[in-house]
């Protein structure tokens, strides 16, 4: 597998490929060559591992109720749904943040919620929670749920 790292050199960044252990396995007959190479680069070691990786099911998921202090969050979201509160899903602007925001807001809407998504501007608001955005959201949402925000700013969470 190849990882990409950045090294700073005279005010310029240069990509450096880092090599990890790769194990070649025979390409299944119905698998495109490009996919086979990608799976090998990803660290897949056999056709069986490839099948499990590409066709993952619910058995591969961890139980979210094992997360520390998850029940107060679950109960608050349930209360918001029952009360018909407007919810804000505050995501991050990167690919997993956008996807997580879409998935959660779609699920909330399927439960009848007025769920709106807020994705901060990468260039104007930066990564994570933003005080100005929180104050704006407070004007239209009763509950804000963050996804993919790596929250460590306790003061902003309190706000």
CA 119/CA 98 separation, integer angstroms: 8
Residue-wise pLDDT for 12-22, tens only, equals: 566 666 566 67
Residues 6+ apart with CB under 8 A from 21: 1, 43
Digit-coded pLDDT (tens) for 105-124: 999 999 999 999 999 888 88
**How far is residue 111's CA from residue 121's CA, in Å, rounded to a whole number?**
28
Which residues make Cβ contacts (< 8 Å) with residue 55, sequence separation at least 6?
none
Residue 90 reports pLDDT greater than 60: yes
Pairing of strands 114-118, 86-90: parallel
Here the tokens at position 86 are 């407007």
Task: Decide: helix, strand or coil at residue 13.
Answer: strand
The partner residues of 128 in beta bridges, in order of sequence, read none
Share above pLDDT 90 across residues of the chain, in percent, rounded to a whole number? 54
Q: Residue 8 has what pLDDT?
A: 45
pLDDT digits (tens, 9 = 90+) for 34-74: 999 999 988 899 999 999 999 888 888 888 889 888 999 99
């Amino acid at each position: 597998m190849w990882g990409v790292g950045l090294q700073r050199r005279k005010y310029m960044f240069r990509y450096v490929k880092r090599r990890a252990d790769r194990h070649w396995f025979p390409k299944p007959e119905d698998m495109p060559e490009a996919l086979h190479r990608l799976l090998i680069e990803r660290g897949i070691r056999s056709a069986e591992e490839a099948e499990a990786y590409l066709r993952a099911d619910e058995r591969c998921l961890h139980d979210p109720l094992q997360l520390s202090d998850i029940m107060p969050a679950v109960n608050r979201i349930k209360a918001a749904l029952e009360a018909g509160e407007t919810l804000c899903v505050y995501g991050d602007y990167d690919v997993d943040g956008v996807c997580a925001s879409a998935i959660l807001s779609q699920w909330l809407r399927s439960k009848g919620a007025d769920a709106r998504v807020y994705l901060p501007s990468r260039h104007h608001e930066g990564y994570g929670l933003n005080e100005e955005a929180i104050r704006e959201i407070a004007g239209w949402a009763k509950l804000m749920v963050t996804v993919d925000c790596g929250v460590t700013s306790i003061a902003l969470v309190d706000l």
